[in-house]
Amino acid sequence: MKRPCVIVWEGVDGAGKTTLMNRVKALLEEKGFEVLTYKTPSNSPTGEFARRYGNESDIDPLTRMLLFLANTSDDSRIMRKELMRSPDFYFIDRYYLCSIAYGLAFSKLSGIDIAESDFLKLLDIIEKLGEKIFLKPDLYVIVDAPEEDRLRRLEKKLSQGGLEDKLERDLLMQQYVRRLYRVFAEARPDQVFWIVNLEGKLEEAAQEVVKRLTSMACLRNP
């Protein structure tokens, strides 16, 4: 049985992450690869609760982070079952890294500043606690975009109101998130592929990601 390449897709809000992921999926399928995707927060009980309660206007940053982290942990059992289908690639649209990065960015926005070194320590602790729970990513594709492109995409998105919408459009929040992703990429360069998704350049970005993914060792090592 072949071992799927587990790819986690992360990025700031409005970077076009999901659009790029779906285009990469289509291009890989044209090449004959089987690709499965999973998006968090999901429609599972923990996903629905995290979305509903975690976006209450008066939620505190720690509770919000733990809610979304709980969903990524809980849904890992669903992902493991899907992996039994043995696709070539398994794409996860946001995983536990997102829960931690966004949680700490929201904390900083609320006046609680956590050192970048402590972010990495917390991530290490969560991964050790979830060693038998979380899927082990072969690669993180972190999608970024210039601020003007990011805001333009958000303007096209139907506003849902509430905390999530507010945080997506908050410049400082997204700067904090981007910085934490940078810290992660610098700490684990072999695990991260950073791609800038420029407006009007989707196809070029997708082809660049496809080139990286089709060269991965996990495709050759069952």
Q: Which domain holds residue 30?
A: 5-219
* pLDDT at residue 164 greater than cutoff 60: yes
Distance between first and last Cα of the chain: 7
Q: pTM of the prediction?
A: 0.94
Considering the chain, what percentage of its residues have pLDDT values greater than 90?
85
Number of structural domains (the chain) is: 1
Q: Residue 1 pLDDT more than 60?
A: no
Burial class, 214, CB count within 10 angstroms (exposed 0-12 / middle 13-18 / buried 19+):
middle
- CATH code (residue 170): 3.40.50.300
